[in-house]
Amino acid sequence: MSIDTAAETAAQTATAAASGASATERFQTDKSPFDAVRDTPAERVDLLAREVLAAVHATIRAHKVTYAEYNALKAWLIQVGEDGEWPLFLDVWVEHVVEEVATEHREGSKGTIEGPYYVPGAPEQGARGAVPMRDGEQGTPLTWTGTVTSVDGTPLRGARMELWHADADGYYSQFAPGLPKWNLRGCFTADTAGAFEIRTVRPAPYQIPTDGSCGRLIAAAGWHAWRPAHLHVKVSAPGHEDLTAQLYFPGDAHNDDDIASAVKPELVLDPRQNADGSVTVDYGFVLDPVRG
């Protein structure tokens, strides 16, 4: 199958429901969310639940929500679950605030949301290499160099960088049909100087899935569904806090109105155009030591 045919097939058969179901299944497989909060005091659960409900109640009272609107909301919430889109909904509209609060103490590099399409176990590529990709993968060739250090400047030998991003059609491998399992996903390990070099292709902006429940909310509210082009990365090193980030490109039309509200000025790259049309970027990471 040619590249064009594969892309066309993916475009024809990828759906929000299928992507959402994959994201839900992956989340339930890879994470144990209840283990981390098993010992949460009842008082905190009570506090958070009551304040969330109070905010809902206040909205209803302030805007005189009707029974018709209430029932439409109830039906929509049920459909979100049936579509498997809760990971998409929460990661797009809620996660950026959780990330902001969780990392406000950090002195090192800024991070941002993980999103619903992370998959652990990407193929190891060493300190210098290319992410797995199809022959003739669409997109401008991009070489990314950088170093990983601690906040005191110490190079972090063996730091791991997991990279993943969408293809030129906006699809992520393992969440859309017709793509090789590890397409545009790789894991890199910094050398003795904390340095790395990664070869991939520049991703394109894309719309989040709009044929499911999240798309119905977007249409009803008159919003757009676009995310700016970005590279996802998770950086880790022993004795240091993990960093999750997305790196963006200057001039993208949606850097200022990203639907996921995930863009930060510190995460915008400064690419250099090469004579052969390829792009080079230099961007490193500073990790915070684990506290206490």
The three-state (H, E, C) secondary structure of the chain, written as one string: CCHHHHHHHHHHHCCHHHHHHHHHHHHHHHCCHHHHCCCCCHHHHHHHHHHHHHHHHHHHHHHCCCHHHHHHHHHHHHHHHHHCCHHHHHHHHCHHHHHHHHCCCCCCCCCCCCCCCCCCCCCECCCEEECCCCCCCCCCEEEEEEEEEECCCCECCCCEEEEECCCCCCCCCCCCCCCCCCCCEEEEECCCCCEEEEEEECCCCEECCCCCHHHHHHHHHCCCCEECCEEEEEEECCCECCEEEEEECCCCCCCCCCCCCCCCHHHECCCEECCCCCEEEECCEEECECCC
Give the tokens for residue 33: 């969310």
pLDDT(8) > 60: no
Which pLDDT score is estimated for 28? 67
pLDDT(76) > 60: yes
Percent of the chain with pLDDT over 70: 90
pLDDT digits (tens, 9 = 90+) for 166-203: 999 999 999 989 999 999 999 999 999 999 999 999 99
Which pLDDT score is estimated for 1? 35
Q: Residue ranges per domain, the chain?
A: 100-287
How many alpha carbons fall within 13 Å on the CB side of residue 226? 11
Please report, for residues 17, 60, 91, 114, 213, the alpha-carbon distance to residue 68 in angstroms, rounded to integers and kept in the order given.
26, 12, 28, 35, 18
Angle in degrees, CA 223, 229, 233, rounded to 5: 115
pLDDT(225) > 60: yes
Closest CA to 194 of 151, 248, 165: 151
User: Of 13 and 131, which is predicted with more confidence?
Assistant: 131
Which pLDDT score is estimated for 268? 98
pLDDT digits (tens, 9 = 90+) for 88-142: 999 999 999 999 999 999 999 999 999 999 999 999 999 999 999 999 999 999 9
235 pLDDT band (50/70/90 cuts)? very high
15 pLDDT band (50/70/90 cuts)? low
pLDDT, averaged across the chain: 92
CA-to-CA distance for 243 and 277, rounded, in angstroms? Answer: 31
14 pLDDT band (50/70/90 cuts)? low
pLDDT(4) > 60: no
Is the Cβ–Cβ distance between 227 and 208 less than 8 Å? Answer: yes
Which pLDDT score is estimated for 31? 67
11 pLDDT band (50/70/90 cuts)? very low
Percent of the chain with pLDDT over 90: 84
Burial of 67 (0-12, 13-18, 19+ CB in 10 A): exposed
Region 64-73 average pLDDT: 98
Fold of 100-287: Protocatechuate 3,4-Dioxygenase, subunit A (2.60.130)
3 pLDDT band (50/70/90 cuts)? very low
| Neighbour count for residue 98 (Cβ, 10 Å) | 12
User: Of 165 and 292, which is predicted with more confidence?
Assistant: 165
